[in-house]
A and B are shown apart, each in its own frame.
Chain A
Amino acid sequence: MSDSTKIGRTLLHTRRRMSDESFITLLVASVAVGLFLFASILVPNFFQLQNMLNLVTNNWAVISLGVGVTFLLVSGNFDLSVGGIVALSGVLAVWFSQSAGGGSALSTGLGFPYWLAVIGALGGALAIGALNALFVVRFRIPSIIVTLGTMMLARGFAQVITQGSQRNTNLPDVFGMLGNLTVFGASVKLPVVLMVILLVIAVFIEKKTVFGRLTYWIGANAVAARLSGIDKDRHVTYLYLFSSAIAGIVGILLASEFKSGYSNRGTLMEFDALVIALLGGVAIAGGFGSVVGMFFGALILAVVTSAATGLVLSPDWQYILKAIAVFVAILTQTWALARRNR
């Protein structure tokens, strides 16, 4: 009956079985690989190492946001504010860095040193995260409503600061460094490396720490979690701060890459982050899903959209293709899980 006797004593009831979560992650990964191979047959020059890398590196921002969104979804909460935070923190970083006394309003900033501007921008991002936590945790308002509100609030602030336009003049040279720094011999940008580090840390937290397990318990049954002594309010607060910090850094890096603060940056990114999490098997009701699954979900979306633009289809078709990918993926997962647990 037992096959794991490695941990000191014989375990009698431990016939291990692959968890549904590993099963779904494996399924999502195989779909991503399968789609890639399929696209390689259809699209000339698709099957190249550089192309594979591009699928990941072009999507570093959404994948990074997906980490925070995934943790929150697993805990049973939405975060639709990440796109707005990307815009806000980018605009703030620019505004704080622009030297005081420029020619026009849009070229005049606060003249902070860059490090202070970054901290200030992060502070703005965390403020939105704290607002999310406040309304969700303290006032018990459904997270989808709260973060829909803060999504507009964050973007609204960005819009006011940029007066509906862009801020891109009067910036110190150091501003453009972080986002354009390359490592490993000019082939990989720093943000991509940061994304990889973030993924590794997130997987560690999710699988190996008590913090990660708390997230699943809260998402699986919040009432039982409270009656088991878990401080759900504090945990969800941490998750919102964590997610908004990631979004803040993404915004700062994007602003640096383009050397501009633009209030429409990151538009619809919150939905892309949600979509890749769902594609990756994260349950919208909470308690189920993984960061690795979300990563492969992002690959599915990337393959579908990039293959489409490589095909005869015009880029206008990409939303339709995304929609088809979402429906097919979710149906497959539901069907496969039901079959497995029959």
Chain B
Amino acid sequence: MTDQSQSPVLSVEALTKDYPGVRAVDDVSFSIESSTVHCLVGENGAGKSTLIKMLTGALQPTSGRMKVRGSAYEPGNPHDAREGGIATLFQELHVVDELTVLENLTLGMERSRFGFLVKSDLDDRVVQTLAAIEPSIDPSARVSSLSVAQKQIIEIARAASSGASVIIMDEPTAALSEREVARLFGVIRRLRETDVTVVYISHKLDEIFELGDAVTVLRDGKHIVTKPLSDVAGRSELIEMMIGRNVFQDYTPRTAVTNEAVLIARGLTNKLLKDVSFEINRGEIVGFYGLVGAGKTEIARALFGADKVSGSILFKGQKVGNSPKEAIAAGIALVPEERRTQGLFTSLTIRENIPVMNLKRLSNRGVFRSSVELEAADEYVGKLNIATSSIDKYAEKLSGGNQQKIVLAKCLFADADLLLLDEPTRGVDVGAKAEIYDIIRSMADEGNSVAVFSSELEEVLGICDRIFLLFDGSLETEVINGPDVDAAHILNVVTGGRGGAVQ
């Protein structure tokens, strides 16, 4: 660890970012000491990613200042940020599979003379950097032969050898196995020894305690605290700072909930899922809550038959899980995670999007009933309050919230008894969010069942009657929602604290 006299490598002062209607980052000030691993934690929506985007030049702050080694730092774009010595390791990898490790590391920095590449000391320097942080990778190996973790290390090495003094890592372990995580941590520690500062973002609190020197907690866009991790008492203190006093919205126990199981899943297992079993009752809204990569989408897709898993799924006594077609016929509908690529026909109109999941109702001996289509479009545009001038508007021209309502309308038109919603309000504005929650509640009040797969605690605590907590592919425990639900316990479980009490 470094001594206190050194000036901070990176600091922000009164940084604020406004979006229409929301203040995503609100008057945040803190600084990061040189050669440390500085962790950034907060719930989804706390403002972490907005803050990072400002640091990397992808977004411009509304007001406030950023400083690198005491001098003003105003990146206009990610390229400026790199020039300023700040590199970012995103979740999506930016390596070229067809090239060798060395070629990847020197990409864009090649020296040439008369259009021909010339050898320079660059190669040696890069090889040295790589050897320093991860000697096991052969510089002449083809990148396509490497694992995800090794590719990540290539990116880190590239950032380090380009002279970055700060490397921001956004949930770098989301796609890694335990052994690979240990290896990445080794790399990060060696980076710290070579005077590189790492800003480390993760939801997995254990990683933060294992790796971090200092931590900054954000909540609802505000800066809560920055302090050395040695001064943090444990998981419970960190969780308390992350959630504050009151995260639940206005959950009120619902009367439509029954004890009659409509869906029984037993022993769902695949590459990620580990023997997941649960039941969903009629009239109930259940939540599946966990971090990114905990297995939420996998469960949703398995129930819908989009991916095959081992285990058994019984819906109203009938075996399902073989194909989406079978699921829909049985009365299950899915609002997929990625609405633009998986849910919507963006190049078709609202009218043409809505009826796709219920061809029976649409067909009169194979002939298309356009009057049904027209009425359905009109009905759902009105019912779901979809803001559009016409049902003949193309889906791609609508806002995220309205697009999501169209995907919901598809499922409602399918007359499903069980609605699976994978991140139903991701990228949706606040107003539409509340409307979508109302739609979900009224669906369930009519005697249908709803499963919400979400990585937002506030969402599951706001609408779900019962919440299944997932961590790393296994269903750890379930929680009955109510006025005295223990949010700290929930966060503890999904961040890897297992089913036990908060330490």
Contact = CB atoms under 8 A, between A and B. Distances in A.
A75 to B, nearest CB: 13
Nearest to A286: B347
Q: Which of B306, B341, B368 gathers the greatest number of chain A CB atoms within 10 Å?
A: B368
B346 interface: yes
Contact of B324 (A9, A208, A229): A229
A13 B390 contact: yes
Contact of B325 (A14, A19, A231): A231
A341 B389 CA distance: 14
A39 B363 CA distance: 45
B273 to A, nearest CB: 19
Contacts of A11: 374-375, 378
Contact of A220 (B324, B347, B359): B347
A30 B349 CA distance: 25
A287 B348 contact: yes
A220 to B, nearest CB: 4
Nearest to A229: B328
Given A12-B378, A208-B368, A288-B347, A229 B329 contact: yes
A62 to B, nearest CB: 27
Contacts of A20: 394
B410 interface: yes
Interface string A211-244: 1111011001101111111110000000000000
A224 B334 contact: no
A15 interface: yes
Interface string A1-41: 00010011101111111011000000000000000000000
A314 interface: no
B367 A208 contact: yes
B366 A210 contact: yes
B43 to A, nearest CB: 29
A228 B392 contact: no
A226 to B, nearest CB: 6
B420 to A, nearest CB: 11
A229 B327 contact: yes
A210 B390 CA distance: 23
Given A13-B390, A19-B392, A228 B356 contact: yes
Contacts of B389: 15
B224 to A, nearest CB: 40
A187 interface: no
Contact count band on A: 35 or more
Given A210-B363, A229-B324, A229-B325, A224 B375 contact: no
A11 B347 CA distance: 23
B346 A221 contact: yes
Interface in B410-458: 410, 414
Interface in B369-412: 371, 374-375, 377-378, 381-382, 386, 388-394, 410
A50 interface: no
A224 B329 contact: no
Contact of B366 (A211, A217, A227): A211
B499 interface: no
Q: Which of B348, B377, B414 gathers the greatest number of chain A CB atoms within 10 Å?
A: B348
B357 A228 contact: yes
A223 B341 contact: yes
B344 interface: yes
A231 B375 CA distance: 25
A281 B322 CA distance: 38
Contacts of B288: none
Contact of A7 (B329, B374, B388): B374
B371 A7 contact: yes
Contacts of B314: none
Given A216-B352, A224-B345, A209 B366 contact: yes
A213 B363 CA distance: 11
Given A229-B327, A229-B328, A217 B374 contact: no
A210 B348 CA distance: 16
A228 B390 contact: no
Given A208-B368, A212-B368, A13 B348 contact: no
B390 A227 contact: no
Contacts of B344: 221, 224
9 residue pairs, one from A and one from B, having the closest CB atoms? A229-B328, A220-B345, A11-B378, A13-B381, A17-B392, A229-B325, A15-B390, A228-B356, A210-B363
Given A209-B368, A227-B334, 12 more contacts: A7-B375, A11-B375, A13-B378, A13-B388, A208-B368, A210-B359, A220-B347, A224-B345, A227-B324, A228-B324, A228-B328, A229-B324
15 contacts: A7-B375, A12-B382, A13-B378, A13-B388, A14-B390, A15-B390, A16-B392, A17-B393, A209-B367, A210-B367, A220-B345, A221-B341, A221-B346, A227-B336, A229-B327
Interface of A: 4, 7-9, 11-17, 19-20, 207-214, 216-217, 220-221, 223-231, 287-288, 341
